[in-house]
Amino acid sequence: MTPPIVITVRAPDGPGLVSDIAGAVAGAGGNIIDVGQHTDLSTTGFGCRLEVEASIERSALAEQFAALAQRRELAFEIHDSKERPRVVIACSKTLHCVSELLSRVSLGELECEIVGIVSDRTDAGEVASRYGIELTHIPVGEDRRGQEEAFSEALGRLAPDLVVLARYMRILPPEIAESWNGRMINIHHSFLPAFPGAGPYAQAHERGVKLIGATAHYVTAGLDEGPIIAQDVARVSHRDAVADLVRRGADIERSVLSTGVRLHLEHRVMVFENRTCIFD
């Protein structure tokens, strides 16, 4: 089956909006095969995600939605599911999330093209070589600002649609976070908002928690404060040492980051202020 065309729509909520959106698809000769919609009551913002049979002409859809946008305060995007977004992975020494993403892409579980790995370490060289992917090494020295500028330049050269921080253990400056707003996903090895920052498993062990988790979220200028895309947890007990939490947490991190990336690639995430709506 040919993958469907995906349409995402944002607009202020109002009477007849859903009917108008469906009418735009019908006016282009399209057939809706799946739809998800949400109204955020605190902002009165409306969002929806539609899947339309791929036999329709995208130009006809664009024409219909452009006309609708003139009648309503509406923003839309039309995505061809056959397109493979460009993705860059950034990592440091810990590689389980990198390996998981590369494996899922190679198996066809994530529809994207990994166009590069950027790292402040050389540890990812072997896994990058195994998958035939360029590794850009940007070492950390005394010139932190220079390293950050080199990181930004590497992203600009690789021109990804999405940047994934797969345990990239560097705090990015606000200007980089802002320039990739909505296009950069981080995996944090705790169930945010608990234990942000460094060493969350040690913090969790010291606190005696009974649940550990991981969080995939969009990167913003505020450290570990971006909109949350996916989370999961596992039960632990007093018998678990910090090393046990790290080992069990790594499994959660793999799954949560892969889920967050998949949801983004499939255009299932919509942000309302600092909250997300997930059309899954």
From 271, 276, 207, select the one nearest 242 (Cα to Cα): 207
Judge contact between 114 and 101, C-beta under 8 A: yes
Quote the CA–CA distance of 243 and 32 in Å, as a whole number. Answer: 49
Answer yes or no: 224 catalytic: yes
Phi, psi of 204 (to 5 degrees): -65, -40
**Which is the catalytic residue, given 224, 244, 251, 280?**
224
User: Torsion over CA of 203, 206, 212 and 217, rounded to 10 degrees?
Assistant: -10
What angle in degrees, to the nearest 10, is found between the helix axes of 96-106 and 242-265?
A: 40
From 91, 164, 165, select the one nearest 128 (Cα to Cα): 91
From 217, 193, 190, 216, select the one nearest 205 (Cα to Cα): 190
Q: Is 87 helix (H, G, I), strand (E, B) or coil?
A: strand
Query: Looking at the annotation, which residues are catalytic?
Result: 224
